[in-house]
């Protein structure tokens, strides 16, 4: 009929649309940094593919005239079990970076886990969204005193939980980052990241070392210095889940770091067959309801959210799709991503009964 529907005015209707838009908008090195996985990216791609192998069993003739997506995590109410995972350097995707992310999370009534490698200061993130529910993700530094100062700081700033990432005793083999190293550093410098006078604790170009000696017995040291609940991010096996319970942590995020750390580990979501059970189901079964279990990696639709919850996750966390939203329209792009997913999840709940 002579109309063109390919222009930028076309609404973005699913998370894949945001992905395609971000790919067009961002520089190649930034896109590779966000999208890249470890080695051959098998686990990164499995995270998405595993969801698509699970089928839903809808039940009908149930009253679904009222559907409530609210839930709680660590005793705090959220509007929907779809929250924001920790990812670094949001200023690469949008000038206001993590401040935009924090405002979007506050507007959506969900939790935002702020990364150790945030490109905005923690004070600015808190000031821009003072009413938001925030957790803080920690990469453990070899210097105990620095860890202590940082934990005391986030506690005083009103963060509600400490998320310790356990799957990075060293950085995974991310080939794209190695290839693009010069461009990536140039981009980060252009975005004016990491100037110490801005209060950024750990700028990329002087990235703090991560303590590769950290072990289970060290958790008591963290527990002795903070009243915050401690969540372990990166658990994939029942053995480690059982140890987490034994060491009195408050939650687990089943995660393979978006496939960015050790390639060829299981996808986060479980796919049950007679032969094997995958990460989420294994972890949920082993903690026996004693602590909350969450999941990140591969969430792209409302059906994905429902599948994770049906298999025992209390809440899911989004990584890359948040950065796609930022690249689209800053905080409003993130809000759109969250709204689309929440609406899809509402539909999935309704149609499965």
The answer to whether residue 174 sits within a structural domain is yes
The answer to whether residue 5 sits within a structural domain is no
pLDDT(240) > 60 = yes
Q: Tally the residues of the chain.
A: 353
* Partners of residue 230 on adjacent β-strands: 162
Catalytic residue from among 21, 141, 176, 257: 257
The answer to whether residue 62 sits within a structural domain is no
CATH label of the domain that carries residue 266: 3.20.20.70
Could you tell me which residues are annotated as the binding site? 86-88, 115, 137, 139, 165, 174, 233, 255, 257, 260, 296-300, 319-320
pLDDT of residue 197: 44
Q: State the SS3 of 194-250.
A: CCHHHCCCCCHHHCCCCCCCCCHHHHHHHHHHCCCCEEEEEECCHHHHHHHHHCCCC
pTM: 0.92
pLDDT(199) > 50 = no
Element (H, E) at 346: helix 320-352
For 21-76, the DSSP string reads HHHHHS-HHHHHHHH--STT-HHHHHHHHHHHT-------SS--SS----EEETTE
Residue for token pair 């990241």? 193
d(CA 108, CA 125): 16
Number of domains within the chain:
1
The answer to whether residue 289 sits within a structural domain is yes
The answer to whether residue 8 sits within a structural domain is no
pLDDT in tens, 326-348: 999 999 999 999 999 999 999 99
d(CA 269, CA 280): 5
pLDDT of residue 271: 64
- Residue 32 tokens read as 């590779």
pLDDT of residue 202: 41
pLDDT(182) > 70 = no
pLDDT(4) > 70 = no
Could you tell me which residues are annotated as the binding site for glyoxylate? 139, 174, 257, 260
Could you tell me which residues are annotated as the binding site for FMN? 86-88, 115, 137, 165, 233, 255, 296-300, 319-320
pLDDT(246) > 60 = yes
- Residue 60 tokens read as 């009908």
d(CA 197, CA 280): 42
**Best CA proximity match to 56, nearest among 294, 343, 311:** 311
* Partners of residue 136 on adjacent β-strands: 114, 162
Q: Mean pLDDT across the chain, nearest whole number?
A: 90
pLDDT in tens, 89-123: 999 999 999 999 999 999 999 999 999 999 999 99
Print the domain residue range for 334. Answer: 15-55+67-192+202-352
The answer to whether residue 85 sits within a structural domain is yes
The answer to whether residue 323 sits within a structural domain is yes
Catalytic residue list contains 257: yes
pLDDT in tens, 272-322: 554 456 899 999 999 999 999 999 999 999 999 999 999 999 999 999 999
The answer to whether residue 50 sits within a structural domain is yes
């Amino acid at each position: 009929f002579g109309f063109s529907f390919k222009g930028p005015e076309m609404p973005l209707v699913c998370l894949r649309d945001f992905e395609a838009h971000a790919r067009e908008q961002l520089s190649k090195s930034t896109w590779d940094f966000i999208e890249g996985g470890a080695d051959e990216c098998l686990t990164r791609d499995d995270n998405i593919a595993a969801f698509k192998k699970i089928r839903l069993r809808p039940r009908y003739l149930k009253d679904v005239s009222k559907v409530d997506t609210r839930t709680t995590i660590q005793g705090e109410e959220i509007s929907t079990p779809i929250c924001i995972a920790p990812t670094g350097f949001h200023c690469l995707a949008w000038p206001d970076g993590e401040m935009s992310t924090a405002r979007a999370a506050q507007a959506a009534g969900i939790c935002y886990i702020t990364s150790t490698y945030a490109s905005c200061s923690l004070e600015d993130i808190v000031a821009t969204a003072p009413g938001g529910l925030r957790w803080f993700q920690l990469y453990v530094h070899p210097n105990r005193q620095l860890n202590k100062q940082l934990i005391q700081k986030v506690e005083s700033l009103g963060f509600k939980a400490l998320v310790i990432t356990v799957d990075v005793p060293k950085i995974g083999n991310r080939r794209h980052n190695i290839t693009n190293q010069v461009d990536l550093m140039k981009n980060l410098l252009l975005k004016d990241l990491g100037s110490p006078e801005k209060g950024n604790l750990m700028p990329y170009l002087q990235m703090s070392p991560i303590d590769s000696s950290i072990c289970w017995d060290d958790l008591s040291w963290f527990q002795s210095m903070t009243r915050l609940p401690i969540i372990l991010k990166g658990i994939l096996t029942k053995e480690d889940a059982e140890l987490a319970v034994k060491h009195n942590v408050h939650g687990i995020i089943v995660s393979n770091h978006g496939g960015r750390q050790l390639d060829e580990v299981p996808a986060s979501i479980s796919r049950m067959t007679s032969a094997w059970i995958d990460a989420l189901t294994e972890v949920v079964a082993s903690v026996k309801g004693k602590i909350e279990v969450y999941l990140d990696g591969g969430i792209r639709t409302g059906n994905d959210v429902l599948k994770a919850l049906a298999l025992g996750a209390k809440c899911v966390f989004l990584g890359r799709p948040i950065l796609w939203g930022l690249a689209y329209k800053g905080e409003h792009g993130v809000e759109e991503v969250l709204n689309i997913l929440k609406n899809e999840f509402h539909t999935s709940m309704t149609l499965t009964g």
